[in-house]
Amino acid sequence: MADEPAFVRFVERFDAPCERVFAAWTDPEELVQWWGPGAFKVSSVTVDLRPGGRYRIVLEPPGGGEPLILGGRYREVVPPRRLVYTWRWEQGVPDERESLVTMEFRDLAGRTEVVLVHDNFVGPGPVENYRMGWESGLQRLAYHLQGEEEHVPEATHETTIARPPETVFAFLADPENDRRWRPAVLEIAHVSGTGVGSRYRQVVSGPGGRRIDADIEITEHDPDRVLGFQTVAGPVRPSGRYELEPISDGGTRVRFTLAARLGGVKKAMGPMVKKTMESEVANLDRLKQVLEA
């Protein structure tokens, strides 16, 4: 969007002292336990915690596929009060801009207030997806500091479609087509944006036929290869990912993965959520019928 601010800013409070929160953000053994958006999992972290030192984080997408690699250099390291570092995706995200993350850790009598600013994006491009990613990551950090494990139900289904990747991707990249192959979608309409950061208002059918708001935002948009989204409304907010791969006969292998992070009382919903997601990804066979008709 033309008027989108070129930064994101958060002020969050955690029930832990500054030393504990700073360590969670800089200790590789802790970072692998919570860092990252949605249902992505960290498989590797290296940290050289000093001005000029480098860090590198490898993220595995839900359902498998090509890992995402993030790297940068520390500009300021003042334990446990301040941290400034550069940010650049090295693999897996079609955004090669370098940007800057500035963090302040403020003592609140045993609690910590974290002020996070992600800005200084070098070059044009959306930043709304970074806002959503940080929201998810900060929630995961809160659970981690409380010593509470999240439950992450996941469902994946795969099929082949006798259409080229560009055709399949174009159909999926317009979520307004979802009503043609996902029976649970009652309403869906474009709200704003294009590509990464675009939003759609969605209403789905819940238990007992109850209407549930389940708006989505596009988080990955790599034409003919990967399309990702995050649910941003509703009681359970799964992330979804379509991975496309060309096959020898001119068709496309498609993998659809849904994953949801459930913390607190929502963990009890795990079995029901998993069953619902398994049913949802199985609709990929309906997509095949629609596109091959």
Listed residue (146, 134, 144, 137) closest to 10, CA to CA: 134
Cβ–Cβ < 8 Å for 219, 129: yes
- Model confidence at 274, pLDDT cuts 50, 70, 90, reads confident
In SS3 terms, the chain reads as CCCCCCCEEEEEEECCCHHHHHHHHHCHHHHHHHCCCCCCEEEEEEECCCCCCEEEEEEECCCCCCCEEEEEEEEEEECCCEEEEEEEEEECCCCCCCEEEEEEEEEECCEEEEEEEEECCCCCCCCHHHHHHHHHHHHHHHHHHCCCCCECCEEEEEEEECCCHHHHHHHHCCHHHHHHCCCCEEEEEEEECCCCCCEEEEEEECHHHCEEECCEEEEEEECCCEEEEEECCCCCCCEEEEEEEECCCCCEEEEEEEECCECHHHHHHHHHHHHHHHHHHCCHHHHHHHHHC
Which tokens is 130 given?
């970074």
Contact assessment for residue 61 and residue 43, using Cβ atoms and an 8 Å cutoff: no
The band of 149, judged by pLDDT with boundaries at 50, 70 and 90, is low
Q: Say what the pLDDT of residue 113 is.
A: 97
**CA 282 and chain centroid, separation:** 22
Q: Where are the domains of the chain?
A: 8-145, 154-292
Q: Identify which has the larger pLDDT, 197 or 204.
A: 204
pLDDT tens for each residue of 152-182: 788 999 999 999 999 999 999 999 999 999 9
By CB atoms closer than 10 A (0-12, 13-18, 19+), residue 135 is: middle
Residue 1: pLDDT above 70? no
**What percent of the chain stands above pLDDT 70?**
94
Asked if the model's pLDDT at residue 223 lies above 70, the reply is: yes
Judged against a pLDDT cut of 70, whether residue 97 lies above it is answered with: yes
Arithmetic mean of pLDDT, 266-291: 89
Q: What is the pLDDT of residues 48-76, one digit of tens each?
A: 999 999 999 999 988 777 899 999 999 99
In this prediction, residue 94 has a pLDDT band, given cuts at 50, 70 and 90, of: confident
Say if 8-145 and 154-292 have the same CATH topology.
Answer: yes
Using pLDDT thresholds of 50, 70 and 90, give the confidence band for residue 187.
Answer: very high
pLDDT at 151 over 80: no
Q: pLDDT for 4-40, tens place per residue?
A: 558 899 999 999 999 999 999 999 999 999 998 877 8
Indicate if the pLDDT at residue 271 is higher than 90: no
In the predicted structure, residue 138 carries a pLDDT above the cut 60 = yes
- Percentage of residues of the chain with pLDDT beyond 90: 63
Cα(75)–Cα(188) distance, integer angstroms: 44
User: In terms of Cα–Cα distance, which of 221, 205, 210, 168 is closest to 280?
Assistant: 205
Indicate the pLDDT class of residue 124, thresholds 50, 70 and 90: low
Is the CA virtual torsion 133, 154, 231, 283 positive or negative? positive
CATH class of 8-145: alpha beta
Provide the mean pLDDT of the chain. 90
Beta bridge partners of 10: 116
Please tell us whether the domain made up of 154-292 is placed in CATH 3.30.530.20: yes
